[in-house]
Amino acid sequence: MKQLEKGDSKLLNAWASYDWANSVYSLVIASAIFPIYYGQLFKNRGNLNIDVFGTTLKSTALISFTTAAAFLMVAFFSPLLSGIADYAGNKKSFMRFFCYLGATSCIGLYWFDLENIYFSLACYFFGLIGFWGSLVFYNSYLPDIAFPEQQDRVSARGYSMGYLGSVVLLIINLAMVMKPTLFGITGTEGEAAMKAMKYSFISVGIWWIVFSQYAFYHLPKGTNGNGKVHRAVIFNGFRELKKVWHLLEENIRLKRYLVSFFVYSMAVQTVMLVATYFGEQEITWSSDGERTMGLIISILVIQLVAVLGAVITSRASEKFGNITTLIVINGIWVIICICAFFVTLPIHFYITAGFVGLVMGGIQSLSRSTYSKFLPETKDTASFFSFYDVAEKIGIVIGMVLYGLIDQITGSMRNSIVFLAVFFVAGVFLLTRVPKK
């Protein structure tokens, strides 16, 4: 097969299509169905605490700490892997490995239960690693396949395809959960709904594997590969990170942007990872059925509005500049976090979800493309994006640990959400220090 040229529309669409494939994980597993399933397991058990790892933890604190541990592993291993990928020129192989690891782990969640908590947490743990590990290499492809003037819109297209594709599967999963008999799922109402959720985990794994094949077919193997991997290459990724760190000393704009990104990103990702757990426990629902329907509708609202948010943000960045747009978005996040403390009724949660969606899609898309545009001329893009991803993952580790600790100590996730507003305020301040040129 002839390799498509950089900037080719088919290549750009193939790259963006991976968002369609893998975003079902972030929606169905990380945001919608799994948090509801996880919460219902504890409700059926009649106790929100569990003895695990030699201590007693609240259910939401346990999932926060497990998530933080997975991101810590991703942060440590991604420099190793990206360094090897750059040297060997086979980043697509690594991207494919993590894709399959994440997809098979999602299928493994079918057997998630509290009686086998360690196996269950392992499936959740490796699903998260597979998703985020593949993104290290997926993101690093952006400057390889698109010219600078194309990157904002291509990045937004990827997120938009991801939101739309994941909504398609979520609607199918929602129908399975709410009307299980239509799909031949038997049992009492509660049992059938839980079975449908377990089948949803399998559907995510299959969807992810099948729809990723188009991207794997058209994306180049890698760039600048120059040989077989040997012992000296293993820690090359950390040497590359050190080199990137020194290059940042000469690029004040990129360095200050990365610092601001590190701070506000830890809050953005934490909110995204815990939103459904917050709604599941902190909102006053009239019944389990209303809770399930309400939470999934809220996630659908977020996803659909996020498509609009990504497009609006892309246009706003063209008119007002990337940094100015990011400052405004961070300011909106501050207001959302403060308002979340007072959210108690379903209608409040729906309204908050709408605003979260509007700024969620925009801040993710624009953050990625801003970093790509600020990069110096280089062919070692995987190393620079590894640095970006390590900063993001370490930020998430800090954010999730702090969130979990506040939740565990105070017994309320409301206090944790309000605390995240501090990071957005700091993000606004740090972004004002990024030079325009």
CB 334 within 8 A of CB 424: yes
In sequence order, what are the residues at sequence separation of 6 or more whose Cβ sits closer than 8 angstroms to the Cβ of residue 44? Answer: 190
Query: If pLDDT is split at 50, 70 and 90, which confidence band does 300 have?
Result: confident
In 3-state terms, what secondary structure has residue 224? coil
| pLDDT for 223 beyond 80 | no
| pTM given for the model | 0.81
- CATH number for the domain running over 9-220+235-431: 1.20.1250.20
pLDDT digits (tens, 9 = 90+) for 197-215: 999 999 999 999 999 999 8
Bridge partners of residue 57, in order along the sequence: 50
Q: What's the pLDDT score for residue 237? A: 66
Instruction: Dig out the tokens for 411 from the structure.
Output: 């017994």
Q: What's the pLDDT score for residue 234? A: 63
Query: If pLDDT is split at 50, 70 and 90, which confidence band does 414 have?
Result: confident
Q: What's the pLDDT score for residue 222? A: 64
Q: What's the pLDDT score for residue 43? A: 86
Residue from 257, 286, 244, 247 nearest 387 by CA? 244
Backbone angles phi, psi at 320, to 5 degrees: -110, -10
Query: If pLDDT is split at 50, 70 and 90, which confidence band does 88 have?
Result: low
Give the residue, 126 or 248, on which the prediction is more confident.
126
Number of neighbouring beta carbons within 10 Å of residue 427: 28
Q: What's the pLDDT score for residue 270? A: 87
Q: What's the pLDDT score for residue 203? A: 96
pLDDT digits (tens, 9 = 90+) for 126-149: 999 999 888 878 877 877 887 777
- What are the C-alpha distances in Å from 330 to residues 155, 212, 262? 19, 32, 13
Query: If pLDDT is split at 50, 70 and 90, which confidence band does 50 have?
Result: confident
| pLDDT for 276 beyond 80 | yes
Using a pLDDT cut of 90, give the percent of the chain over it: 24
pLDDT digits (tens, 9 = 90+) for 6-24: 767 788 888 889 999 999 9
CB 127 within 8 A of CB 25: yes
Q: What is the DSSP letter of 58?
A: E
**Packing angle between helix 322-340 and helix 288-320, nearest 10 degrees?**
160
Query: If pLDDT is split at 50, 70 and 90, which confidence band does 226 have?
Result: low
Give the residue, 237 or 102, on which the prediction is more confident.
102
In sequence order, what are the residues at sequence separation of 6 or more whose Cβ sits closer than 8 angstroms to the Cβ of residue 21? Answer: 99, 165, 207, 208, 210, 211, 212, 215
- What are the C-alpha distances in Å from 411 to residues 58, 340, 405, 415? 8, 16, 9, 9
Q: What's the pLDDT score for residue 417? A: 85
Residue range 233-237: average pLDDT?
A: 66
| pLDDT for 225 beyond 60 | no
| pLDDT for 79 beyond 70 | yes
Mean pLDDT of the chain: 85
In 3-state terms, what secondary structure has residue 179? coil
Q: What is the distance between the alpha carbons of residues 103 and 323, in angstroms, rounded to a whole number?
A: 35
